[in-house]
Amino acid sequence: MFTLATPDLQAERIGNTDTPGVWHFSSGQPGRTLMVSALVHGNELCGAWALKDLLASGIRPRRGSLILAFCNLAAFDTFDPANHDASRFLDEDMNRAWTAERLDNPTTRDRRRAVELLPWLKRSDWLLDLHSMHEPSEPLQLTGLLPRNIALALKLKTPRHIIVDAGHKDGTRMRDYGRYSDANDAEACSLLVECGYHGDPSSHAVARDQVARMLMAADIVDAADIPSDWLLPEPEAQHVLEVTHAIVAPSMNVRFSQDWKGLERLPEAGSIIGWADDQPIVTPYDNCTLIMPSLRQLLPGVTVVRLARDYRR
Q: Which domains does the chain possess?
A: 12-230 (3.40.630.10), 243-310 (2.40.50)
**Per-residue pLDDT, 312:** 83
**Per-residue pLDDT, 276:** 97
- pLDDT, one tens digit per residue, over 161-218 is 999 998 877 789 999 999 999 999 999 999 999 999 999 999 999 999 999 999 999 9
Q: Is the pLDDT of residue 232 over 80?
A: yes
In angstroms, the CA 250 to CA 65 distance is: 44
Distances in Å between the alpha carbon of 1 and those of 95, 108, 140, 195? Answer: 25, 31, 20, 16
**Per-residue pLDDT, 259:** 94
Number of H helices, E strands in the chain: 6, 14
Distance of CA 252 to the CA centre of its chain: 25
- The continuous run of DSSP H or E covering 46 comes out as helix 46-57
Q: Is the pLDDT of residue 300 over 80?
A: yes
